[in-house]
Amino acid sequence: MEKNNILFIKYCTTGFIVEENAGFVSVIMDSIEQECRNKNYNLNVLNSNNLNTTFESIPFEDYEGIIILGTELDTKGYTSLETLKHLMWLLIMKSLTSTVMQ
């Protein structure tokens, strides 16, 4: 059975960076949503201010991949991403040179 589910997590602790870059965030989210629709994927969106807690509540087996908008993610938060070793994931940050894909 095909999953056809992608999870989009918007990681935000203060909201300051996201508010400053509202256009960037909107373009990213709109583009991802449109591409998922074009490829017949369901896109589920979650907001998170604590990746560890969020990851504990996610049924990973229901998703083919995860996209994380991490404009406020600092290097301490990278350790949370180790949980995702078994999935394809993409981290989007304000600086696209810092984008990481596994």
Express each pLDDT in 3-62 by its tens digit.
799 999 988 877 665 566 667 778 888 999 999 999 999 999 999 988 889 999 999 899
pTM of the predicted model, to two decimals?
0.77
CATH class of 5-101: alpha beta
Q: Which stretches does DSSP call E strand in the chain?
A: 5-11, 42-48, 65-69, 88-92, 100-101
DSSP state of 76: G
